[in-house]
Structure 1
Amino acid sequence: MSMLMPSMRDAEYNLGEARARLREIPEFRRLMFQIWPSLSPTELLHDLFGSRALLKSAAKDVLTDQEAEALFRARAASRDEAIFSDADAALLDEARELLGPRPRKGGVIDEADEIATFGHIVIDEVQDLTPMQLRMASRRSSGAMTVVGDIAQATGPFAPSDWNAVLKLLPKDRAARVAELSVGYRIPREIMEFAGRLLATAAPGQSAPTAVREADEAPRVVRVDADALLAQVTGEAKELVGALDSGRIAVVCPDDMADAVSSALGAAGVAHGRAGSSALEATLTVVPVGVVKGLEMDAVIVVEPTAMYEHPDVGPRGLYVALTRSTQRLVVVTSRDLPTELRD
């Protein structure tokens, strides 16, 4: 069909419509089932990722050799034993769209195998979805969607630079309307103003929300020598635990410091939990910056913000996220100069 379309004289003839009509003809489906290999999405992805030759062919002019090699994974003993990651879900869905529903006995397609669509879809934290995940959501939409997010908090290799980068991957049946939420109810003004200094770098063109409440105290920055850093963090944690009777406190640190921070707290007899290995039920929790997004704490100690700022997987946006997790108190402990945007 793709080869025949350019020769069609009718300019209004649509390839997608032609395919859809052909799929409705039982005889055509039976014929195609007989002459065309019938692959499932899992079979396709398992075979593709398990062959360097297939990956090289498929990735030509699209991926570098290093990127294609990163996708390779040895084939399982059988396709039923293949293990896929969460990130593969969008690829499997794309393959399902390209392959179409797999015919059952006699070439019949069950309606249950068709991709269902919804009258209205609501997505929160949409800035964290990859382009392929956005495509997956779009094909389930009838055109009406409400998506909520904060571009300033978008991190990762596919982080969008603005809302246009998100909207272009969503249904275009209706004109998009962007509404900016300009009032903040969770974060106190003092903390928002401090963290908001990063926005010009983290998300140019984005404005910090106007906070409606005040904090008990302004964010506090503590500069110490590197060899005194963990002792200072421990002392600050003890002080906050004593000051907040029933609140929850997080020590947010670079991912590679989490073990050292936890060990220092443990050596000082400070009870605490670890994000990722236990629920956030402890009064005090050590949280690697890589998993801090979405959390809300009464008080937060941010450790070595400059290391976060400079890390390619965190950057200004990741630091902005870390600095905006507290609803009451924020303490920053550092052994280095703060990023330029945060200096007084």
Structure 2
Amino acid sequence: MIRILAINPGSTSTKFAVYNEAECIFKKTIRHPLEQLLRYKNIIDQFAFRKGVIIDALVEEGIEVDSIKYIIGRGGLTYPLESGVYKVNNLMLDHLREGVMGQHASNLAPMLADYIALQIPNARAFIADPVVTDELDNIARYSGHPRFTRRSIFHALNQKATARLHAQKVNKKYEELKLIIAHLGGGISVGAHINGRVIDVNNALDGEGSFSPERSGTLPVGQVIELCFSGKFSEEQLKRMVVGEGGFVAYLGTNDALNVEKRAKSGDQLAFDIQEALFYQVAKMIGEMAVVLEGKVDGILLTGGLAFNPELEKYIRQKASFISEIFIYPGEDELEALAMNALRVARGEVEAKEYLPIISDIL
């Protein structure tokens, strides 16, 4: 029996699950109050605390830790990588501690996986399809000015897992399909998938594409520059306008998409308009990716929490069904996606890669 531990640290929670091959036998989400996290100066300082809550929960559940041989964490902000499963190595850990691409709670996942694996005889640690997965065609990297390069930062784990699920459903290989996949959650990313690669996708973290429940997406650059030099806002305040306090939060005071959906249905005109504007921007992004794929699209896949909204599905079908058939895969299960990637390695279906980025090519 192949036993797997999947770990996904978030900004205010730690999620983890144990699988016996494809069967989940234990899953837990531990929420961390803000005052608890404020004790730590930065993300990396939370390592011992997060490690403790995982191990304590496994022991309390009566799970024999030594029986776990595959530990897989959500990939953090390392240097860009192609899609796949990667062994956790010292270089990766060094880059995460340095924060070479930024600091995020996901940086803790490989560190936690590595630590736990080292305590168990013959256990191995991995990551899969990190947010910095980069398979962009070279032409997609140009921004319009040589000082700026488009970056691939998106929901690679869920997009890739959804693509493989869909391929299985239609009895084809993911690598044979041309797909447009829209991950619709707290952040929004829309990718053009061809032959198993995401050749174009918006930077879903800090300033491209549709706005989302808490991110501003693409903003008018001229107005942003004026605001930067207005003297009214600090750099930190401006960054929060883009990530965390944009989108629904800025317009409606909430990042709860279900709350916005209810308000729109109850006659709140502003909530209706803002929700429809999000739908409109997502539909435009799908159109852009259809051009990238030259109109030859085998399917448009909608996934993430917002895909539960029937009004979004109705709107996207109305706007984009002329491009291709639309399939709905609502929600996301990143722990399951991680575990299935580890299982593919355990079964010999894929080979885990080494983290050896060529820094000169990146910089």
TM-score of the aligned structures, taking structure 2 as reference length:
0.22
Q: Decide which structure has greater strand share.
A: 2
TM-score of the aligned structures, taking structure 1 as reference length:
0.23
